[in-house]
Chain A
């Protein structure tokens, strides 16, 4: 069981044209595979993407970014519930293109980068493909830099396979040094791949949140700890199905008492 889904990708862009060019094929491919397809964007970009999708645009569900991303815990729980609902309704997979809310302060940036890190273990056992859009025009450097660390694969084409470091470089705004720094620190915290990493996430969240939030983060960390000890993230691995561990992560839900195989 891998701690980081190969399907949590980053798409970095700087203008509306490339957003539409890359995201429309990604979303329509999902529709063609009968997947549940969701966008989490601000109203302007939602309209832009829907228009570009044409007549199939209405098949894409949209969530308002700013209403959804209030707190990381909330967003994670919301995503989890939503994904389970889609799968229960028969979707073979869930495909998401989403963007973080605007981060105006350093604290905001750190909070949402931690959220991105949490997404990796949280969705490791769900059949999801998440591409996070990162608009270079909107987000501060701190978010850009953190995003490189929190996404197992960063790609100019969201639907493409894992990209090699040269491709990542080609898409980095800040050039080589920023990326190599990101790569150097990308092991521990990012995927919650070690117990220390998980504790660090919880501690970091706790330190900047009120008591209620801290409790939620502890629960969150405990649930993450419940998933099997993670191995090093590898680029080729795919999230595998593991009913027992994914059920325990969500605190029950669809846990089945019988998991015998045929």
Chain B
């Protein structure tokens, strides 16, 4: 495979976030998001700090074969977050939301199926008060739900107070912070934390090759009943499914499932297993 980016457990219409500590994590998740956006036929706006624009362009062009043509057609824009969001003025929640709406209209007018935006929030809004940022994220979560737009906010963990991070994360109902989005080193399987209700969403291939990271994650983080959403699992095998029971065989609720998963649920006899609840 020539691409480095893999699956990402974010759906159209969602406002998601991730917190990162290392640059590699951030690039991996943002790149996967970009590839998914391009596949959806969206315009992808990739925001970064002004000094990083050129480096990001170089990196993306080298890593992804489609990037050069996407840049030519306007399907991908790598831009300085400051000019998009702030335009030289101070931070204002309403103006930011208006700017995003305008971007969305422009993408649709240009013939794209939608708009996918990802950006490092602090580089764009560095000057803003933490409280205003939280307010902004809450408004975004309320305002944007249209299936033709996807937002992925990036938070550099070193640049925020922990208390602010807690509130920011809560303002997004989808979170793909590492190790969720990076569960599998090959990128074939990715996860997201969706709430409420607290659900682990998986996307990609859930099979024997990719489950090691999932098993580790479940071991470390899940000590009670587990609720999963498997609607975005494109392929599954028995090893992948059994991994969901974890080493503790916890109660499992399957909130949603794709066709391959449903078939395996039947083959495994989980539809009559008292330890597994499969929602209709």
Q: Which residues of A are interface residues toward B (Cβ below 8 A)?
A: 25, 28-29, 31-32, 34, 53-56, 59, 87-93, 127, 241, 243, 256, 258-259, 261-262
Contacts and interface: CB of A to CB of B under 8 A. Distances in A.
Nearest to A94: B223
Nearest to B19: A32
Contacts of B169: 32
Interface stretch (B58-66, B74-82, B136-144, B159-167): B159-167
B269 to A, nearest CB: 14
Contacts of A55: 163, 167
Given A32-B19, A92-B223, A256-B248, 8 more contacts: A31-B162, A32-B166, A56-B163, A88-B225, A89-B224, A90-B225, A241-B248, A259-B248
Contact of B247 (A34, A87, A243): A243
Interface in B144-192: 161-163, 165-167, 169
B243 interface: yes
Interface stretch (B2-10, B104-112, B213-221, B257-265): B213-221
Contacts of B249: 256, 258-259
Contacts of B223: 87-88, 91-92, 127, 241
B222 A92 contact: yes
B243 A262 contact: yes
Interface of B: 19, 161-163, 165-167, 169, 193, 198, 211, 215, 219-225, 239, 242-243, 245, 247-249
Nearest to B197: A90
A88 B165 contact: no
Nearest to B239: A262
A53 B163 contact: yes
A123 B173 CA distance: 32
A177 to B, nearest CB: 39
Nearest to A34: B193
B166 A59 contact: yes
A93 B219 CA distance: 11
A241 to B, nearest CB: 6
A222 to B, nearest CB: 24
Contacts of B215: 262
Nearest to B163: A56
Contact of A92 (B162, B163, B166, B220): B220
Contacts of B242: 262
B162 A28 contact: yes
